[in-house]
Amino acid sequence: MFATDDTIVAIATPPGRGAIGVVRLSGTDAARVATAILDRRRPLEPRHASLAHVVRRGGAPRAIDTVVVTWFPTPASYTGDDVVEISAHGSPVLLAEIVDAAVAAGARRARPGEFTLRAFLNGRVDLVQAEAVADLIDAVTPAQARQAFDQLEGTLTRAIVAIGDALFDVIARLEASVDFPDEGYHFVGAREAAETIEGISRRVDDLLAHAAAGRLIREGAHGVIVGRANTGKSTLFNRLLGTERAIVTAHAGTTRDLLTERTDVFGVPVTLVDTAGLRAVVEDVEREGVARARRAGAVADVAIVVLDRSVPLEESDRELLERTVSGPRVVVVNKCDLPAAWTREAIGVDDALDVSLVTGAGADAIRPAIFRALTARESLRETSALSNARHIERLHEASEALSVAAARAAESTPEEFVLVDLQRARVALEEVTGQRTPEDVLEHIFERFCIGK
């Protein structure tokens, strides 16, 4: 696991060039290390931006860059330790030199997530908030950013802490009853205990009720565009992306491999996959493209089936409709601007969309249909408090344990047995917020962070 008693350094801004780049130091020697690489004679003032030069020591000292330095003394800093942030010009070469100078002065290069881990260990954030930091950085849609920020602000933490407090109260009363068996004291009756536990269980279930939507926003979905060759799949792919990403020609078989791009579908990040047209082929390259299209369609969160209304239906069209009927899908009947070779009754899909991807007629209905197929709702007016798979799994464990405990309490089972299940629920809740979380779980969580955060 990470060491926490030394001083770490890393570039805190994204890779690449920019107007400003930030190098962050954190640890007991952060101010000393910063002073060692600066040409300032006066000590740094807490929470004051100071102009200075970073100097490379060893041999003849030379200035690396003109910088602005800010010192945040413990405990009122991001990590809870002393933190120094050096704002320099955003050249990767200059920033790397500043990091090298700090390492030469006694700092250690930070590992991914190490700054936020120290914030967690020092009580500046809980585990839910720490994970929300990574989610906020990774956000690619406004809905993702809003959901992550709500968790960073403590929305989910407060809900879980309130549930935990109610659970602790009933545990304390049951344990008190166990502690005084000879006196016959019962600090809570069986019926009251069962009703209280059921109430707590309902609060957990309320959080879980919208977990699927929250997880969809956080993790996104895969939408695979499938259909026969030359039905307009690549044209649809380009229209949904708002850019000419896929090559479109009248020649069948233009798309031979999977093209993948991400788009925002009303707050849900959807990775769209344009596939090769499904047809009998002889050429090896196109045959492999068709095979990949079939595999991609099999694992898609939503299948976007494109049919050509201007030509007769083929058996492959019917097979594709049959293969996708059991999962979320959107059926797009393209080329409605041309004479129809078949009617809607021929495919037996009442909610198929009649469109012309060339003229744009009906195309505005495709994106809402994809959203409904994924979410089974018209909009995501409010972000879910619950979105992380780890949190959802722990809360399901808590819900199960509470259900068992409530049933046992209702049957007047001895308090000791009810307490076993209540303690199991309590452990699950505390693992969400990090009050008790195995070290390997912490390491797994923080290793996905970027370096410098």
- Name all domains of the chain by residue range, CATH numbers in brackets: 8-122 (3.30.1360.120), 134-203+386-434 (1.20.120.430), 217-375 (3.40.50.300)
Structure tokens at 340: 């129809």
pTM above 0.75, yes or no: yes
Give pLDDT, residue 251.
Answer: 42
Give pLDDT, residue 276.
Answer: 66
Q: Residues 68, 53: contact at Cβ < 8 Å?
A: no
Residues 6+ apart with CB under 8 A from 150: 156, 383, 385
Amino acid at 214: G
- Residue 325 to residues 295, 301, 304, 352, Cα–Cα distance (Å): 16, 13, 11, 12
Cα separation, 194 vs 325, whole angstroms: 44
Residues 6+ apart with CB under 8 A from 182: none
Mark out the alpha helices in 299-388 (DSSP H runs): 315-324, 366-375
Q: Residues 123, 23: contact at Cβ < 8 Å?
A: no
pLDDT in tens, the chain (453 residues): 567 789 999 999 988 899 999 999 999 999 999 999 998 878 899 999 999 999 887 666 778 899 999 999 999 999 999 999 999 999 999 999 999 999 999 999 999 999 999 999 999 999 999 999 999 998 888 888 999 999 999 999 999 999 999 999 999 888 887 766 555 556 677 788 899 999 999 999 999 988 888 888 898 899 999 888 888 888 899 888 886 654 444 444 444 456 888 899 988 899 988 876 554 444 544 444 444 545 544 567 899 999 999 999 988 889 889 888 888 999 999 999 999 999 888 888 889 999 999 899 999 999 999 999 998 766 666 656 789 999 999 999 999 999 999 999 999 888 889 999 999 999 999 999 988 877 877 888 888 888 888
Q: Residues 358, 235: contact at Cβ < 8 Å?
A: yes
Q: What are phi and psi of 434, to 5 degrees?
A: 95, 10
> Residues 179-192, buried b or exposed e (16+ Cβ, 10 A)?
eeeeeeebbbebee
> Residues 325-335, buried b or exposed e (16+ Cβ, 10 A)?
eeebbbbbbbb
To the nearest 5 percent, what fractions of the chain are helix, strand and coil?
Answer: 45, 20, 35
Cα separation, 258 vs 225, whole angstroms: 10
